[in-house]
Amino acid sequence: MALVAVAIVLVAGLALLYQAKRLGWGDIQAELAAGRVVNLNAAPAAEKLLPLLREVGANETERRFIADRIYRYLHQDAGARGSGSLEGVGGLARIRVNVAEVRAQRRLENLRARAERLAAAGQSQAGDAATIALLTAEDVATVGSRAVVREPRTFGWLLTASTALFLAGLFAAHLFLRFRGARTDALLLPSIALLSAIGFLTMVSLRDPLRDAPLFLRFAEGTAAGAVLLAVCARLDFQRLPLRKLTWVPLGGAILLSALLIVFGSGPGGSDARVNLFGVQPVEAIRLLVVLFLAGYFANRWEFLRALR
């Protein structure tokens, strides 16, 4: 019953959030139909992107060049990237253009000036392979105010699928534990479900569903996978497994990851914060490894700790 109550609260919260998001969109369908807002992933031609670039580029030639490169990135170069669509408007910042191509066209005034500034500051690559970002952060923000990457009905489908996956994983874990006779705390899974539901609602509420990447979908996938893994692990008899002798292995892994992060880590946007390691953020893994170590450490000393007064 507790898990059902959590599911009801989650669905009710998502319904309220969806209605609030709809009010924030206004008449987005009319805006899309009139061309005042453009769906980047559905633009049929580069010319349809020009209304987004009125405040970008020094002249019409440069704006057409930028529109062409965006369209090419979304459609013609999709096979090389393994993806044919943008998850978020911020993905425009990843589009790069060859410096030699920019310098060969005098009408690309802003791009040429930026390439020269970066070269003078030593912040650009050397040789024929040198590239620069097609759009600056300010340009992406300007374009993003009049662009989307999905329509409301697509968001509605993603939200429904994510919610179904989220709840399916939790209820599958509940049924597995119940019918396999696992002796676990009856409030453990509902408590996990409640905390995860709060996180899921937060992921949906904080981001623009039409312009940002749907991170709530990944959150739902992770929650479902974690719930299933929890159910499987609950069936294991850790008292008989040799894992009790490997208590220090998770701690060693945490120390190793921390050392690699200190030596090879990098920060977003070139900052000094070392949070990224080879494209991923290992902080959560480090925390989990420390928790596993502490759990094993105290489990091995349970009789001693229980005798303490």
For the chain, the residue count is 309
User: What span, in angstroms and rounded, lies between the C-alpha atoms of 219 and 191?
Assistant: 17
Q: In the block, which residue shows the tokens 């005098």?
A: 106
Long-range contacts of 252-258 (CB under 8 A, 24+ apart): 253/289, 254/286, 254/289, 254/290, 254/293, 257/282, 257/285, 257/286, 257/289, 258/286
Which amino acid makes up residue 95?
A: I
Reference 56, options 147, 141, 113, 148; nearest CA is 141
Beta-carbon neighbour count of residue 219 at 10 Å? 19
Sign of torsion over alpha carbons 221, 8, 28, 23: negative
* Ranges of each domain in the chain: 1-24+150-236, 38-145, 239-309
Q: What pLDDT is recorded for position 32?
A: 84
pTM: 0.77
User: What span, in angstroms and rounded, lies between the C-alpha atoms of 39 and 52?
Assistant: 10
Q: What pLDDT is recorded for position 82?
A: 46
User: Mean pLDDT per 10-residue run, the chain (309 residues)?
Assistant: 91 94 84 85 86 85 91 72 73 89 87 83 61 89 90 93 95 86 75 94 92 92 91 73 74 88 71 69 84 82 71
Structure tokens that stand for 188 in this block: 């453990």
Give the DSSP per-residue string, the chain: -HHHHHHHHHHHHHHHHHHHHHHHH-SHHHHHHHTSSEEGGG-SSGGGGGGGGTTSSSSHHHHHHHHHHHHIIIIITHHHHT-SS-SSGGGGGG-EEEHHHHHT-TT-HHHHHHHHHHHHTT-S--STT-EEESS-HHHHHHHHTTEESS-HHHHHHHHHHHHHHHHHHHHHHHHHHHHTT----TTHHHHHHHHHHHHHHHHHHHS-TTTS--HHHHHHHHHHHHHHHHHHHHTS-TTTSGGGGGTHHHHHHHHHHHHHHHHH-B-GGG-S---BBTTB-THHHHHHHHHHHHHHHHHHTHHHHHH--
